[in-house]
Amino acid sequence: KTLDEAASNFQNLITTNLTSSVFFFTLSFFLTLLIVSKGLIKGIEKLNVVIMPSLFLMLVFMLFYCMGFKQGFANAFSYLFYPDFSHFKFSS
C-alpha cells in the first residue's frame, strides 16, 4: 500500500464510526485516571504485575504464530541474526 492509501484508511477509520472512537477514548482516559489516582504501589505496580507477563505471553504466541510462515520466518531470522558484513566499510 502507498502512503496515501494508508492515510485514507486511517481517515476513514476515525471519521466513519465516531461514537466508538469517543467511547474507547473515554474508556481509556478514565482507566488511566483511575490507575494513576491510586498511586505507584496500589495502581501502576499492581497493574504492571498483570500486564508485563501478559505482554511476554503475547510475544511468545506471536513468535510461534510467525514460525508457521515457513519461508518468511526463515528469511526474517537469517536477516536478523546473520549480518552481511560486506555492507560495512572502514570509511563509514
Compute φ and ψ for 4, nearest 5 degrees: -65, -40
Please tell me the predicted confidence (pLDDT) of residue 92. Answer: 53
Please tell me the predicted confidence (pLDDT) of residue 1. Answer: 64
Surface-to-core class of residue 35, CB atoms within 10 Å of its CB (0-12 exposed, 13-18 middle, 19+ buried): middle
Which of 47, 49, 29 has its CA nearest to residue 38? 47
Please tell me the predicted confidence (pLDDT) of residue 83. Answer: 84
Query: Model's pTM, two decimal places?
Result: 0.54
pLDDT tens by residue, the chain, 92 residues: 689 999 998 888 888 888 888 899 999 999 999 988 988 888 888 889 999 999 999 999 998 888 887 778 888 888 889 888 888 877 75
